[in-house]
Amino acid sequence: MMSRIGFIGLGIMGKPMSNNLLKAGYDLVVYSRSPEPVLEVAGFGAKAGTSPKDVASKTEVIITMLPDSPHVKEVVLGPDGIIEGAHPGSIVIDMGSTAPLVTREVAAGLAKKGIRMMDAPVSGGEPKAVDGTLSIMAGGDKADFEKCYPVFKAMGSSAVHCGGVGAGSITKLANQIIVALNIPAMSEALVLAVKAGVNPELVFKAIRGGLAGSAVLDAKAPLVMERKFEPGGRINTHIKDLKNVLETGHEVGAPLPLTASVMEMMQALKTAGLGNADHGALIRYYEMLAQIEVELSNLV
């Protein structure tokens, strides 16, 4: 087992992920911009770092779980960043949803100092981060992936090597397209059912075992019908991801018309003050158009 792991970014995903590493027996050094989660995770046995540089100087593998691409560049390559403290041969693993071009830029900067990098974004949201069943999509050297596989398995139920550096980020973008398009499809279907006077819960039960069934449907339909829109995956976060999706699509010449449509739905909900709601709140867009709500009180 690796002697010590660094973890930077203890937000809604990073904190439970770091806790699962502690449960798996790893010696952890943690840092976050806010002191409160650092103190909380330290209470479970982690050691508190004073900066990304400090964390990197004390660890062999450094994991980042940060909100967006600019944060990754700053934490890894900026003043007091990981690059100033990491040793040659250390491995930096970015587990956030970072734009692929930024991933490759950061990897190139680290390589100049002999520091290795993997991108390993996750899918599953906060519930799966808590119970350690995330799906992990990794890009980087295959030998580095195999070395870090036990670390990934402490946080996820699956970890797949998708190719070289940046391949994990591309895979996450593909994942976010499918999730983003599933939720409006579910929303259209349930709004149609309620508007036509059919019980939405029975529609859900009837279709979930067939070809229309999906993990997204199973996760989001019950919450929608119970009007639970507390964030697992925020609309604002998904907007950030779809921005990366569309920019990458433009860069490589892949038109993404459905993704662009969903992006505009999310932007409309953000304007309506729902940016911090769960992305399941996309159904509110359709409900506003149809002037009806999909909820259990509408049973017939």
pLDDT one digit per residue (tens) for the chain, 300 residues? 566 999 999 998 999 999 999 999 999 999 999 999 999 999 999 999 999 999 999 999 999 999 999 999 999 999 999 999 999 999 999 999 899 999 999 999 999 999 999 999 999 888 899 999 999 999 999 999 999 999 999 999 999 999 999 999 999 999 999 999 999 999 999 999 999 999 999 999 999 999 999 999 999 999 999 999 988 788 999 999 999 999 999 999 999 999 999 999 999 999 999 999 999 999 999 999 999 999 876 554
Q: Domain 171-298, what fold?
A: N-(1-d-carboxylethyl)-l-norvaline Dehydrogenase; domain 2 (1.10.1040)
Please give the Cα distance from 299 to 227 (Å, whole number): 14
Please give the Cα distance from 99 to 267 (Å, whole number): 20
Q: Which residues are catalytic?
A: 172
Q: Strand pairing of 134-139 and 5-8?
A: unpaired
Q: How far is CA 130 from the centre of its chain?
A: 13
Please give the Cα distance from 20 to 5 (Å, whole number): 12
Question: Quick one: pLDDT at residue 70?
Answer: 94
Match 């976010």 to its residue by tokens.
176
Where exactly are the structural domains of the chain?
5-165, 171-298
Characterise 254 by phi-psi region: left (phi > 0), alpha (psi -120 to 50), beta (else).
Answer: beta
5-165 in CATH: which number? Answer: 3.40.50.720
Q: Which residues pair with 129 in a beta bridge?
A: none
